Amino acid sequence: MGIKDLNTFLKVNACDSIQEYHLFELKGKRVSIDVSIYFYKFLYKNPRYLESFFLQIAKLLQYGVTPIYVFDGAPPKEKQAEIQCRVDKKNEMKKLVETLEAEVVNVAEDTTVNTEEERAEKKAKLEEKIKSTNKKIISVKSEYIRNLKFMLDLLNIPYIQAEGEADIICSQLNKRGVVDLVMSDDMDLIVSGTQFLLREFSLGSNKIQHYSLDKILETLNLTMEQWVDFCILCGCDYSKRVRGMGPKKSIEYIREYKTIEAVEEAIIGEGKKFQAPKSFDYKRSRELLTVAPHYKPEYDNISVAVGTLFGNQRDTIFQFIKKNTILSDTKIRNRLAFMYPVMNSVEE
């Protein structure tokens, strides 16, 4: 979910920090990618997630952008309430699907429908609603993760299996200069240390949104510490928003009082203007957003370059992609050709 309403706020109040780039402008850059975001994004469109990841990798390599994928580990306990909320919503939608499916079965006996044409129309509307609802209850199964890692190994694309959440590792990789950019649609990353965030990647477009943290801070006239506190006040996965305190008021109070501690002392609490929600542990949220306890020193030296292929790897990759996608043989070969020019000289 990220920071509540942050993207909308930035587009109005710091629009110059967001630029649209063509992918060719990122040639030579290294990018860490938050895997879970794209799992859900790709699965929402179609179940062929391996095809979507293959096409993503192919597009990035085509424009000279080198990816390193980061997989989620265990989330912190502070996020359990948010996770449970998402689970509850999915369960509600599953029940809705069951109800709609029962209605589809009963359409034939519906006495309120007078003609076969009306019956067919009602059935079609119910089925469309079932389809759209099912898209909202997507789950990333462990076998999906195993399959993607297998494909990345085949393609010699580097990846990290994080012990904690992937987003803080992505941000640290950028902060430490291991990668130049981070790609995710989650706004948490621009808070946890990402200097340059890429959003709204699409398989059907060669353009992408580029967010600059330094430009955001300059435009909003905030220090990094004030920026983090502002985002926590907006509401994040670890701490609910103070009721009535959206981004507009939050930035006013941070500018006036400088820290959440001072804001709380002045206007939050019993008998004051605002009441804090039960889950308003902003100190722990601050820690979770800025400290990376699961970041390993060896990540600093990880090879982000795409490895060269060897032996009969070319045919193995081709057969795997062919089996797991509906791409034509020509499309697969064309993409592999510009992904790995060295393949042309590999002995088959």
Predicted confidence (pLDDT) per residue in 154-189, tens digit: 999 999 999 999 999 999 999 999 999 999 999 999
Note the pLDDT of residue 266.
95
Cα 307 to the chain's mean position, in Å?
A: 25
Average pLDDT, the chain: 88
> Angle CA(138)–CA(139)–CA(141) in degrees, nearest 5?
145
Co-location of 56 and 201 in the same domain: yes
The helix-helix angle for 49-62 and 329-339 (nearest 10°) equals 40
Co-location of 255 and 267 in the same domain: yes
Q: Is residue 343 part of a domain?
A: no
238 close to 288: Cβ distance less than 8 angstroms: yes
Co-location of 330 and 192 in the same domain: no
Give the ranges where the chain is alpha helix by DSSP (H): 6-13, 35-45, 49-62, 80-106, 116-134, 142-155, 166-175, 213-220, 224-234, 247-257, 260-267, 282-290, 313-324, 329-339
Note the pLDDT of residue 82.
63
Q: Is residue 299 part of a domain?
A: no
Strand 196-199 relative to strand 66-71, pairing? unpaired
**Residue 160 belongs to what H/E stretch?**
strand 159-161
Note the pLDDT of residue 145.
96
Note the pLDDT of residue 344.
43
Q: Is residue 16 part of a domain?
A: no
Which residues share a beta bridge with 30? 66
Note the pLDDT of residue 80.
61
Q: Is residue 159 part of a domain?
A: yes
Written as six digits, the tokens of 89 are 């919503």
Q: Is residue 176 part of a domain?
A: yes
Co-location of 149 and 40 in the same domain: yes
Residue whose pair of structure tokens reads 């040639």 in the numeric block = 27
Written as six digits, the tokens of 171 are 């941000």
Q: Is residue 296 part of a domain?
A: no
Total domains present in the chain: 4
**Which structural domain range is residue 329 located in?**
313-338
Mapping DSSP to helix (H, G, I), strand (E, B) and coil, where does residue 199 land?
Answer: strand
Q: Compute the distance between CA of residue 15 and CA of residue 215 in angstroms, rounded to an integer.
A: 10
Note the pLDDT of residue 113.
66
Written as six digits, the tokens of 231 are 């985002």
CATH at 237: 1.10.150.20
Note the pLDDT of residue 79.
61
Predicted confidence (pLDDT) per residue in 11-62, tens digit: 999 999 999 999 999 999 999 999 999 999 999 888 999 999 999 999 999 9
Co-location of 168 and 154 in the same domain: yes
Q: Is residue 14 part of a domain?
A: no
Co-location of 170 and 207 in the same domain: yes
Co-location of 115 and 34 in the same domain: no
Co-location of 157 and 173 in the same domain: yes
Predicted confidence (pLDDT) per residue in 89-129, tens digit: 777 777 776 777 777 777 666 767 667 777 777 777 777 77
Residue 1 has pLDDT above 60, yes or no: no
Co-location of 93 and 29 in the same domain: no
Domain boundary among 193, 220, 247: 220
48 close to 326: Cβ distance less than 8 angstroms: yes
Share of the chain above pLDDT 90, in %: 66
Which residues share a beta bridge with 274? 268
Co-location of 191 and 326 in the same domain: no
Note the pLDDT of residue 76.
60
Q: Compute the distance between CA of residue 150 and CA of residue 321 in angstroms, rounded to an integer.
A: 11
Co-location of 74 and 148 in the same domain: yes
Domain boundary among 188, 220, 252: 220
Domain boundary among 137, 159, 179: 137
CATH at 180: 3.40.50.1010
Note the pLDDT of residue 106.
74
Q: Compute the distance between CA of residue 118 and CA of residue 256 in angstroms, rounded to an integer.
A: 61
Co-location of 239 and 260 in the same domain: yes
Note the pLDDT of residue 108.
67
Q: Is residue 98 part of a domain?
A: yes
